A and B are shown apart, each in its own frame.
Chain A
Amino acid sequence: MVRYLIPVVVIVLFFAETEFSLFSPIEWHGHLIYLVPRFLILFLIFMAIYYDRKKAMIYGLIFGLINDIFYIDIIGLYTFLYPFICFIAGSTVKYIHQHLVVTTTLSLALIAVLEVALYQFFVLISFTDISFAQFLNTRLIPTMIANVIFIVLLGGGFKYLLEYRSYQRANRSIL
């Protein structure tokens, strides 16, 4: 049964993302601020670090593709960015200590990278005309705050689940 836990978590997070985005944008002091839920990629970053980089990249590819088709109709954007982020996350394993605080900080930095990359892409194809400062204030910072709350609440759980799985796998390979 535990085998299916990771795919189930990934699917639940994928749907949770859209459902949470129904609550955004929020009006705050006369400005509209956008909170972008990035639950799925946060989980995949954790997966790349604690479990398996290759599997994380495959999940990233599949769900990036679904995201592209279902929401933005530009195939290739998330399909590239999700596995790319997972790749970077997985590559850092050798160089950094895998403490929860370090991983959380790293994953948030990667979310920021993802957001900025998306912003640059949409500026490039002129889907948006907001300035970088505006992007920073109305999107990036609120998004980071919202995702910090999410990862602080659930990061420990993710780590436990993924480490448990890799522990199981290690046991199986010994037997």
Chain B
Amino acid sequence: MPQFLNRKKVIFLIIGVILLVALIGLSLRDRQNASLPEKIVKDTVGFAQSIVAKPTNYVTGFIEDIDAMINTYEENKRLKSRLEEFGTLQAEVNELTVENKRLQKLVGKQDSLRKYDPIQANVIARNPDQWEEKLILNQGSNDGVKLNMAVITAQGLIGKVVQTTPQTSEVELLSTSNTNYRVSATIANKKKETNGLIEGYDRKRGELILKRVDSELSVKKGDKVTTSGLGGIFPKGILIGEVTKVSTDDFGLTKLAYVKPAADFSMIDHVIIAKRGTIAVDGVDGNNTNKAEDATKDSTTGAGN
């Protein structure tokens, strides 16, 4: 029976394990800011990755095109039925926009929470082990991307920026199971608006959980949920999804709603980072707000609790 490990190897192994545990502990503590060597590695790999990603994006786009083509007939039928409705709605919206502008001028209100500059970005990688819902984009702090900015697709909100390097940025998707991940949201139906916080994701239902909604206000199935813009850096009015079920939370004090996300979280290849026009303010909620130097946390204290 040959000896499996000799003494030298055992010592080496023990020291290695101790070092690694220390490293894991250290890097777990501060994951929002990358150190300089980390940034260098990230940018180098990111650059190579963005070259490799081009043909892949092409293939993904092609698959999506085929998918769209197969559904053309069905979709066309459905869209035609909604076209008439759309015409009247368009007229109404135009009227309201004009009126809104006039009224804003009257009050002297210049900037709106809704306004944002879009930064176009391509997805260059997705965390291969997929334990965390993360994307890596090819735009970084050199292009004006900052921590906690909203990331959207044509369909709606998908996540926010959690880390930036000069050339790349990392996005955590809404479907994360990170408990510190919150997005301040507004539920709007015809009569009034209510605020709440998107906190958590129900993996079984595939839906987001909207918590801390004032129980006196009525929230119904089918209500649209959008970002509220109250968190500090997110613009207002980005679609998050639609309410599918309403219940009360564990303590029975506030309401809880399940929200079906408008955006699709798989096969994402092109996103827009929303850089808000209005000055972003520092939030106070959450434990990582004050640690990050120029970061703001998207959360609100005035949300029904």
Real complex partners, A and B?
A: yes
Q: Do B130 and A36 have beta carbons less than 8 Å apart?
A: yes
Cα–Cα distance between A37 and B56 once the two chains are bound (Å): 15
Cα–Cα distance between A20 and B52 once the two chains are bound (Å): 11
Which B residues lie within 8 Å of A128 (CB)?
131, 177
Query: Which of A32, A80, A127, A130 has a CB less than 8 Å from the CB of B132?
Result: A127
A94 to chain B minimum Cβ distance, whole angstroms, is: 7
Q: Do B24 and A36 have beta carbons less than 8 Å apart?
A: no
Which B residues lie within 8 Å of A80 (CB)?
16-17, 20
Query: Which of B4, B24, B49, B132 has a CB less than 8 Å from the CB of A18?
Result: B49
B27 at the interface (CB under 8 A from A): yes
A4 at the interface (CB under 8 A from B): no
B131 to chain A minimum Cβ distance, whole angstroms, is: 5
Which B residues lie within 8 Å of A125 (CB)?
28
Which A residues lie within 8 Å of B123 (CB)?
22
Q: Do A118 and B129 have beta carbons less than 8 Å apart?
A: yes
Cα–Cα distance between A127 and B58 once the two chains are bound (Å): 32
Which A residues lie within 8 Å of B206 (CB)?
32
Q: A18-B126, A36-B129, A127-B132 are in contact. Are A74 and B2 (CB under 8 A)?
A: no
Query: Which of A34, A70, A77, A129 has a CB less than 8 Å from the CB of B24?
Result: A77
CB neighbors of B among A116-175 (8 A):
118, 122, 125, 127-130, 134
CB neighbors of A among B132-151 (8 A):
132, 134, 136
Q: A15-B52, A37-B128, A91-B4 are in contact. Are A69 and B42 (CB under 8 A)?
A: yes
- Besides A32-B266, A80-B20, 18 more A-B contacts (Cβ < 8 Å) are A18-B128, A22-B56, A22-B60, A24-B126, A25-B130, A25-B265, A25-B266, A26-B266, A32-B203, A36-B130, A37-B128, A70-B41, A70-B46, A71-B128, A71-B136, A76-B21, A79-B23, A125-B28
B interface list, Cβ under 8 A from A: 2, 4, 16-17, 19-21, 23-24, 26-28, 31, 34, 38, 41-42, 45-46, 48-49, 52-53, 56, 60, 123, 125-132, 134, 136, 163, 177-178, 203, 206, 265-267, 269
13 of the cross-chain contacts (CB-CB < 8 Å) are A15-B48, A18-B52, A22-B60, A22-B123, A23-B267, A25-B130, A66-B45, A68-B27, A71-B136, A72-B132, A73-B34, A127-B131, A130-B203
